[in-house]
Amino acid sequence: MTVAGIDGSAAHLSDTLFTTAIAVYALAMVGYTAEYAFGRRGRVAATAVPVRQRQLIGAGGPPVSEAAVPPQLPARGSGADRVGRGAVLLTVLGLVIHTASIGVRAVAVDAVPWSNMYEFASVAGLVGVLAFLGVLWKSPSIRHLGGFVLLPVVLMMFLAGTVLYSRAQPLVPALQSYWLAIHVTLAAVSEGAFMTSAVLTLLFLAKKRQDRVGGNGRLATLAARLPATQTLDKVAYRIVAFAFPLYTVAIICGAIWAEAAWGRYWGWDPKETWAFIVWVVYACYLHARATAGWRVRAASWINLLGFCAITFNFLVVNIVVSGLHSYAGLS
């Protein structure tokens, strides 16, 4: 059925696929968590516990840094390995269903489906999952961390499907431009990648603190099962290094679109202002990482500050602050 230019059946199918993707991601998250928690015979323990270091120290040899001990993968067919590989398959299945949901939504509205907060959050979540799978392809030893990455994705998608949900509707005149596909796509891709980097940075800080102060407790249990700090920091940095140029181009394209739509490139609209703040924070992070003498831990806090600024820009500025970019689409 088509009402006011909207394919109602396609819109309903898109919503169903979106909900199904959340459920599949949740199941994958359970699988990653099981591998993380019960992986003594699998990838978790083999990656997190530097056995060779303990043997050398026990024999009176010099300490060996954690980074010098290569991750030992579990034997294929072990319980932890099967659960982990199953979780990856579920993640890929969820990604396919999620992509189908966005594609069907595009058919329903006959336009690129990221003109409101619900659609933007869906695309950003998709990119977050893609970023994790891309990292996993290069660094399979961090597979058991999938639960930490999928948790914010599932929470964001749940929030999008409930609080931020918007019915499929035609684009408002101000958004009927090819710049929507360029500007918003780049913004969603970069911000989804920033989310994955923020999760890995949190894990890096937890691992770093435990290595520095030691002790027992829940943090010690968490940190003991994480990869080396060098691995977590390197992956988080590389994701930002990839996403920052995309975010920069997104801002430039937005300025060009603003000139065409409103007759000025930049007007310090609240959304524009916070987008610039986010850009400055991530530029400071990359500069800090490239500057000799800067502590990696301090730079990591800048990375988290950047993601906090993104979250504020997405939720508070879109919902609370009124401006030319008020296209939240909340119903």
Domain definitions of the chain by residue range: 2-319
Taking the CA atoms of 57, 61, 63 and 66 in sequence, report the sign of the dihedral they define.
Answer: negative
- Cβ neighbours of 320 (radius 10 Å): 10
Q: DSSP character for 315?
A: I
Letter string b/e over residues 231-240, b meaning 16 or more CB atoms within 10 A of that residue's CB: bbbbbbbebb
Report how far residue 192's alpha carbon sits from residue 86's, in angstroms, rounded to the nearest whole number: 24
DSSP 8-state class, residue 112? -
Q: What is the arithmetic mean of pLDDT over 280-285?
A: 96
Interacting residues of 195 by C-beta distance below 8 A, sequence separation 6+: 124, 128, 152, 153, 156, 307, 310
- Residue 76 confidence class, pLDDT cut points 50, 70, 90: low
Q: Evaluate if residue 215 carries a pLDDT over 70.
A: no
pLDDT digits (tens, 9 = 90+) for 85-137: 999 999 999 999 999 999 999 888 888 887 788 998 999 999 999 999 998 98
Q: How many CB atoms neighbour CB 202 within 10 A?
A: 18
Phi, psi of 135, rounded to the nearest 5 degrees: -65, -40
Round to whole Å and give the CA distance between 207 and 198. 14
Evaluate whether 31 touches 44 at the Cβ level (below 8 Å). Answer: no
Entry pTM: 0.80
Residue 82's pLDDT is 87
Share of the chain above pLDDT 90, in %: 43
Tell me the per-residue pLDDT of 296-321, one tens digit each, with 9 for 90 and over: 889 999 999 999 999 998 888 888 76
